[in-house]
Amino acid sequence: MNALLAILNVFIDPGETVRRIEGKRTAWLLPVLIGGILMGIYQWNMAHFTFEAIRMDPPQGMDPAALEKIQGTMETTSRFTAIIAPVMWAMMALITSALVFAGCAITGTDVKFPGVFGLVAHTNLIKGVQLIAHYFVLESKGEVNGMQDLIPSFGLEMLLPDGANKLLIGFVSFFSVFQIWHMLILAIGFAALAKCSKSKAFLITAPDWVLGLIFALIGALFRR
């Protein structure tokens, strides 16, 4: 029951989550399992949408015959990714935890890695909610018209005019409601964990989303 309450509280009160998982070295296990299952469900069901997106907007030079040949490969890859999703989810949490822990070392903040990992494992469930929300958005549309539809759209990019700068689109798209929610919850939770100010916690946890922003901007440059 305590583990379940820690998970439920992380969405609105990460400080309470920190209190409930403090000193528990395996506190990360249940949220990682849940996050991995959510990611697995998402990946398992995305094969159809991905194929439809490529079919509607195929890469230059790809004919219908070649497209049909890769359908099986795409489905197999999607299924395999779904099966190993819990491992992938755990690795993502480890990377984020390592970035945050490095910030702790640089700033002289006294926290233990298991505590950071436990907190990150819980806050990453917000990303799991985003995956499921994106899937239901695609289901509600009933069809996809291109690869752009596969990119979660929960920010203000829809307000940008046609032909807007790609970097601007990438920047605005990155700061979705889920991303901002995750940033705030992680910083507030870390402040409770490290018993430091929220501004310092935001600075220490910033490398997590800064790295994601860099990748988002690079990806935006290659969008058609």
Token pair, residue 61, equals 């030079």
Number of domains present in the structure of the chain: 1
122: closest CA among 212, 21, 202?
Answer: 21
Token pair, residue 4, equals 């379940």
What is the H or E stretch that residue 217 is in? helix 198-221
Q: How confident is the model at residue 79 (pLDDT cuts 50, 70, 90)?
A: confident
What pTM value is reported for the model?
0.86
Q: Which residue has the higher pLDDT, 13 or 170?
A: 13
Q: What are phi and psi of 137, to 5 degrees?
A: -65, -45
Give every CB contact of residue 116 below 8 A, 6+ residues apart in sequence: 97, 100, 101, 104, 190, 193
pLDDT at 62 exceeding the cut of 70: no
Residue span of the structural domain in which 125 resides: 2-221
Give every CB contact of residue 173 below 8 A, 6+ residues apart in sequence: 151, 153, 155, 157, 216, 220
pLDDT at 19 exceeding the cut of 70: yes
Give tens-digit pLDDT for 106-142: 999 999 999 999 999 999 999 999 999 988 888 887 7
- Any alpha helices (H) in 22-84, and if so which ranges? 29-56, 64-83
